[in-house]
Amino acid sequence: MERVTASGARAGALTTPHGALETPFFMPVATQATVKGVDVGRLRDTGARMVLANAYHLHLRPGEDQVAVRGGLQAFMGWDGPMLTDSGGFQVFSLAKQVRVTEEAAHFQSHLDGSAIELSPERSMQIQERLGADIAMQLDHVVALPSSREKVDDAMQRSLRWAVRCRDAHQRQDQALFGIVQGGLEEDLRFKSAEKLIDIGFDGYAIGGLSVGEGPHAMYATLRSVMPVLPLQKPRYLMGVGRPQDILEAVSQGVDMFDCVLPTRCGRNALAYTLNGTIRLRNARHSLEEGPIEEGCLCAACRHSRSYLRHLFLANEMLGPILVSIHNLTFYSRLMGLLREAIIENRFDEVKQNLERSLSGGEPLSSAENDA
């Protein structure tokens, strides 16, 4: 991975079988081979260049074999760019009431029909190889934070053992495999996890198990402690993060890749991101506002007035969530482009400070203003 560094932040290029990507970049989440409400043509127009899908969900429906016979994920969903598949490890956390974890595997009760599903490291690799994304993730054990040190250590150690099994099971030469650093908020456990993963050997390294209840300051402290351990020449991916402010801090620590559901989830709920903070389109103040969400934005949503977009949400028209999701994804692409440019021009610290100030200026949600 080629790179240019400035104050800890780095810009570079990540090469995949479906094209090269300029880093840092953000991946929209296409859990079930679709970004909610956004078709692939409009997704490409947002500036997105790589998307994330989920192996667990696609294993349940339609099944990796159906995807494989159609030429893999890209052909199946009509996306011609790079893709990454998560292993199902996050579902160990998010579906905790339906999961039993043993040394051998994570044992799920399907959230669709209640059937028993066993997801071992070897099975996760088989599924991800059949899906055919450019990057596969190791299966890991994610726990909520805060948790006891004993519980965090147990999950981290299991993740390391599963990492070895994933590496040994992974056979596809045209698919990169990333390891995932675990260890909660315990600095020594994070160090141990990172060092062991480097010894095992992966194509890239992710920081997992954050944004699961610990709060931003704890997340930032964890990043500051673990990032210096990771190899400079390998891509670094912060999983499931998210807020623009969190991305600014993580980029300053040398993170290259991000994903999060926030742009589309917030878009579906009438919250729009701008460089001057968030806008809550249901608020009554926008009922007569003829300007766009953000001046200078060329997305499909910003061809319309805030007044019209507000009307769509109040009328429960599906176009509202679609348009604001498109705007938010476009915003994230613009934000990553600004950060990359600032790194290359050695202005990152200045740009970061300016963005931190401007992004903090979002609208509060007021019951007096919100008549929806």
Q: Each residue of 117-130: pLDDT tens digit?
A: 999 999 999 999 99
Distance between CA atoms of residues 181 and 160, nearest Å: 9
On whether residue 367 sits in a domain, the answer given is no
39 is catalytic: no
101 and 8 in a single domain? The answer is yes
Please tell me whether residues 116 and 238 are part of one structural domain: yes
Share of the chain above pLDDT 90, in %: 87
Asked if 349 is an active-site residue, the reply is no
Mean pLDDT across the chain, nearest whole number?
A: 94
- Considering the domain architecture, whether residues 125 and 234 belong to the same structural domain is answered as yes
- Within 110-261, residue ranges assigned H as helices are 121-131, 149-169, 187-200, 216-226, 244-252
74 and 164: one domain?
Answer: yes
Residue 6's pLDDT band (cuts 50, 70, 90): low
Task: Specify the pLDDT at position 94.
Answer: 83
Among the residue ranges 110-114, 162-166, 272-276, 357-361, the one predicted with the least confidence is: 110-114
Q: Which amino acid is it at 303?
A: R
Query: What is the predicted pLDDT for the residue at 5?
Result: 67
How is the chain split among helix, strand and coil, in percent rounded to 5?
Answer: 45, 20, 35
Q: Which of 205, 235, 260 is the last residue of a domain?
A: 260
Q: Which of 174, 259, 349, 371 is catalytic?
A: 259
**Number of structural domains the chain divides into:** 2
Domain final position from 215, 238, 260: 260
Helix (H) or strand (E) holding 279: strand 277-280
Catalytic residue among 45, 86, 188, 246: 86
Strand (E) or helix (H) holding 280: strand 277-280
Q: Which tens digits make up the pLDDT trace of 82-140?
A: 999 999 888 877 887 788 999 999 998 888 888 899 999 999 999 999 999 999 999 99
Q: What is the pLDDT of residue 362?
A: 78
CA distance 290 to 204: 46
Instruction: Report the pLDDT value the prediction gives residue 36, as an integer from 0 to 100.
Output: 97
Question: Tell me, what amino acid is at 353?
Answer: Q
CB atoms within 10 A of CB 185: 20
Single-letter code of the amino acid located at 155: A
pLDDT digits (tens, 9 = 90+) for 209-264: 998 889 999 999 999 999 999 999 999 999 999 999 999 999 999 999 999 999 99
Q: Is the pLDDT of residue 30 over 80?
A: yes
Say whether both 74 and 90 belong to one domain. yes
Distances (CA, A) of 29 to 212, 265, 266: 17, 10, 13
- HEC states along 9-73? EEEEEEEECCEEEEECEEEEECCCCCECCECHHHHHHCCCCCEEEEHHHHHHCCCHHHHHHCCCH
pLDDT in the model for residue 213: 87
Mean pLDDT for 321-341 is 98
Which pLDDT belongs to residue 372?
33
Overall residue count recorded for the chain in this entry:
372
Asked if residue 275 and residue 217 are part of one domain, the reply reads: no
Q: Report how far apart, in Å, the C-alpha atoms of 41 and of each of 12, 133, 323 are.
A: 26, 19, 14
Given a cut of 90, whether residue 78 has pLDDT beyond it is yes
Pair (96, 214) in one structural domain: yes
Range of the domain at 304: 267-359
Q: Which of 260, 281, 307 is the last residue of a domain?
A: 260
Distance CA 233, CA 228 (A): 12
DSSP state of 285: G
Query: Do 316 and 213 fall within a single domain?
Result: no
Q: How confident is the model at residue 3 (pLDDT cuts 50, 70, 90)?
A: low
253/272 same-domain check: no
Reduced to 3 states (helix: H, G, I; strand: E, B; else coil), residue 177 is strand
